[in-house]
Chains A and B, each alone.
Chain A
Amino acid sequence: METGKSAKDRIRELTESVTGLPTLPKVVTQITQLLQNPRTSAEEVGRAITMDQSLASKVLKLVNSAFYGFPGRINTITHAIVILGFNTVKNIVLTASIFEKLGGRGGSQSFDLEKFWLHSIGTGVVGREIARKINFRFQEEVFISGLLHDIGKVIAFKYLPEEFAQVCQYRDEKNCLLMEAEKKVMDVTHDEVGGWLGTKWNLPEDLRFSILYHHFPKQGAKHETMVSVIHLADIFTRALGVGSGGDNRIPIVDTGVWDKLRFSRPLLDKIYKDIDAELEKASIFFQIM
């Protein structure tokens, strides 16, 4: 408003200036297409993945990690598909691709990328743990949603460095949530920016909704449970101090979500009980980054 331009104009300009966004490797689309055909064999999918050597080696590292439960026993992509199933391998390929395109340490003094990814991985792990404890079946999807929920911040950091530096400055001056600073300085927030990336990458709807609405879970519509799990996972991950999504504050939990998922102190204790071991297993994601 202070810029004299309407929010809409600012958003449009931003959208236009991020048209140089990275694309996902072709193999992700290829696999999605292959999996739509029920006659596709494990070998065909394996072959598609191994066309991209660097991706294939990351996928093998992940499938052999404690995180996926078969440490050190899977030698080929085809074998991974047979043991873990098409859907899991597809999710692992998506995860590895995201890290390949947008992962990386470093960052700036005011925005630490390593801490950012720690927070994202943490949110994925905590989300997966919540999903397990409330018997929500899309656990892998929850993990990827957690990994991606703040992706708009990386996009802003990498592609709009000047604006984002101002955002960080505002955050430091006012000691507020990064999101409030984004709104004030850029007139657009990371959830929206992440949503554009989700559209560009043609991500599944539940994933896109988690990115867009993790701060407003009631808008999650038919993906409300998924979005709600990410909303809570983000807050618990901040509480546990796993990494940092760009500020050291914590948003207030949505009361409706809490009630709907029947959250309580005992349930939270149950989630926390196994969380340290699960976070430990997830250190593999730093090794492929």
Chain B
Amino acid sequence: MKKIQIDKIENGMILSKPLIGTGGNVLLNEGIELKAAMISRLKNWGIPFVTIQGEEERAVEEQASINREVQLPQLDRIFVDTLNHPLMKIVYDATFSHLQERQHGNG
């Protein structure tokens, strides 16, 4: 992601962030390819700079999802020295059932 001045934009560069006007409107969405006509319009609007995509962009865009890493065996390790506490036992049991159900749910 690079922030560049409006007069440095080249034809074909791609916006990596939506461009927002002073009124709070989205003027252009991210992912838009900037063509010559658009660039001159941006200049007319008085936009000082825009943020465009660099090469490293794609990799970062890759969606990290909130993946749950704990599998059932790990649960025992997490709770290793707390299970003799009655409330922790309840938390353990509830979590165990939940993870088990999820495993079945996912096939």
A→B interface (CB under 8 Å): 43, 46-47, 49-50, 53-54, 56-57, 60, 75-79, 114, 118, 121-122, 125, 235-236, 238-243, 248-250, 252-253, 255, 258, 263-265, 268-269, 272, 275-276, 279-280, 282-283, 286-287
Q: Does B65 sit at the interface, judged by CB under 8 A? A: yes
- Cα of A253 to Cα of B82 in the assembled complex, Å: 10
Residue contact A268 to B91, C-beta cutoff 8 Å: yes
- Cα of A49 to Cα of B66 in the assembled complex, Å: 28
Residues of B near A57 (CB, < 8 A) are: 17-18, 20, 30
11 residue pairs from A and B, CB less than 8 Å apart = A46-B23, A50-B24, A56-B24, A235-B91, A239-B78, A240-B68, A240-B70, A241-B69, A250-B78, A253-B85, A287-B61
Distance in Å: Cβ of B56 to nearest Cβ of chain A: 13
Residue contact A53 to B17, C-beta cutoff 8 Å: yes
Residue of B30, B61, B68, B97 near A242 (CB, 8 A) is B68
- Cα of A276 to Cα of B80 in the assembled complex, Å: 24
What interface size band does chain B fall in?
35 or more
- Inter-chain pairs besides A60-B26, A286-B63, 9 sampled, C-beta below 8 Å: A47-B24, A240-B95, A240-B98, A241-B70, A252-B85, A255-B87, A265-B90, A265-B94, A268-B90
Q: Does B88 sit at the interface, judged by CB under 8 A? A: yes
Q: How many A-B residue pairs have CB under 8 A?
A: 121
- Cα of A60 to Cα of B18 in the assembled complex, Å: 9
Interface string of B9-24 (1 = CB under 8 A from A): 0000000011111111
Q: Does B77 sit at the interface, judged by CB under 8 A? A: yes
Residue contact A50 to B78, C-beta cutoff 8 Å: no
Residue contact B25 to A242, C-beta cutoff 8 Å: no
Distance in Å: Cβ of B26 to nearest Cβ of chain A: 5
Interface of A: prevailing SS = helix
Residue contact B63 to A76, C-beta cutoff 8 Å: no
Residue contact A286 to B64, C-beta cutoff 8 Å: yes
Residues of B near A75 (CB, < 8 A) are: 25-26
Residues of B near A283 (CB, < 8 A) are: 63-66
Q: Does B75 sit at the interface, judged by CB under 8 A? A: yes
- Cα of A239 to Cα of B87 in the assembled complex, Å: 13
Residue contact B88 to A252, C-beta cutoff 8 Å: yes
Residue contact B20 to A248, C-beta cutoff 8 Å: no
Residue contact A250 to B82, C-beta cutoff 8 Å: yes
Interface string of B73-101 (1 = CB under 8 A from A): 01101111110010110111111011100
Q: A236-B91, A265-B90 are in contact. Are A50 and B70 (CB under 8 A)?
A: no
